[in-house]
Structure 1
Amino acid sequence: MAPITRLLILHKDHPQPEAMGQALVPWLRARGVDASLLPSGADSITMRAEAAASDAVLVLGGDGTMVGVARRLAGIRTPLAGMNFGRVGFLAGLPADGWERPLTDMLAGRWELERHLTLRWRILRRDADSFVTRDEGVAINDVVTAHGVVARAVSLSLHIDGVHFSTLRCDGVIVSTPLGSTAYTASAGGPLTIPSMNAQLVTPICPFAGGFPPIALPASSRIRMEACRQGDQVLLSVDGQENFPLDVGDVLEIRGVPDQLHMLVSDPNWYLRRLIDRGIVTSGPGRKENL
């Protein structure tokens, strides 16, 4: 990674990260870095233009802010880094306290660039003898198809690469990226997956008819789901931040798109270490060793 000379800072709409952003701008400019500051909720046209003109984007907030920014900037390929102001901070490599040394290393180009897959999704609705796109977008972590009412099951027909894989009666189905495997997928018993892998993870949620073990698919696989029972109130949830209704007869299509999200990391083994540090993986009894 080359040294960073222009940095876009995006802050969550909260006093603490906003104050940090305002303090960082003069600190960066004193070190020869052209810095600009925007709220993470700025309009997409401005944000994408500023990101495209920058060497990197620093996001001040929690994991939700990081995911929301990444979704809005998907495809720009300007690398993202995060400073954690949230509870878990799984995606953020910079601490809110003691950030000076790691940020200096990042600006000097001593961090590594990682490339990650995102999910492209679209909802198709029948129009006469064809289908038209009703909604479409990008997911960084996952897309979840589930009932709009808590503790109600839905019936979903699942096709993979043109093969009718299963018709499920379940609480829902999660399709996740490797980067998002530590979120809802892991809670539902899906596999933890190294983020740099180009894979899509499909995990049924509490199936009691038509269930299958979680399955990992290539990025190129075409996943198709349909709500197939009248009366089910089915919602598509994107990264837990956006919701779209899925009516009977609508078709949800999902595919993986590699190399759409770039991230800067200080440690190539950050994922494995953070699984342990954040308590997602817990150590059993016995001696701990650094291998």
Structure 2
Amino acid sequence: MSANGVELGVESFGDAGDPLVLMVGGTTMLSWPDALCAQLALGGRHVVRYDLRDSGASTTLDPENPAYDLRDLAADAAALVAALGAQNAHLGGIGVGGMVAQVAALDHPDRFCALTLVGTRPVAPGPVDEDLPDHDHALMEALFAQPMPDWTDRDAVIAFAAIGAELLGNDREAERARAARIWDRTPSSDPAVHQANQLGMVFARIDCAPRWRERLGELDIPTLVVHGRTDPFFPVGNGEALAAALPGARLLVLDEMGTALRDGAADQVAAAMLEL
């Protein structure tokens, strides 16, 4: 779908006449489980999940040298609401998509009526604020110790994803299946594109300035913050700080969750989102 001058890969669930829930990929749309999207649709929502630029089925130019910034990605979200024919939307963001969602809601307040932020934090990639817990040191050592796969080899990429899943507190088989789906949706044989799609590395290469954490008090819309208690990449203190900075936000901590939403949490998360 065309929005803000780019083509964005989208997938819809439910009736287009129902209130819109727009779900920002982190970086591909498959960060949002099918089961959650289906539950929201059963709850009377038109759910649209989409891929960020340079990922999935969205416009991919040069993921190693992206010529856009965080605020362009935020503008994509706002433009997509209009392209879908809605006045406004409940905006969901997961991981780095949660950073996009925060800035989108701040920069385009007329387009978003509610916010769900999953497994994210209130600052950009890079050095973290002193009051926020950084990535688990042992995790990062273990991740960087893993040899990169041949990004042109589907089986090797899937096996690599399974190893990472265990380190990140995620379900090994679910991550194998997701990696396979990401691979199969990638409209390119370029190994750099496959790597960007699987790891979301393109986001760390974009300009995320200026800071937005100090502006979060401006977001006077219903907000749900979901975080995994065992998340080693963005430890749960990040979600706690995010919820504390957002007026009236509800914090939902999932005991069995690492970095990824699990299908088993779909009912609980969907119920909380439908209350916003």
Q: What TM-score does the superposition give when structure 1 sets the normalisation length?
A: 0.30
Q: What TM-score does the superposition give when structure 2 sets the normalisation length?
A: 0.31
Report which of the two structures shows the higher radius of gyration computed on alpha carbons. 1
Q: Which protein, 1 or 2, shows the higher relative CO under an 8 Å CA cutoff with sep ≥ 6?
A: 2
More strand per residue: 1
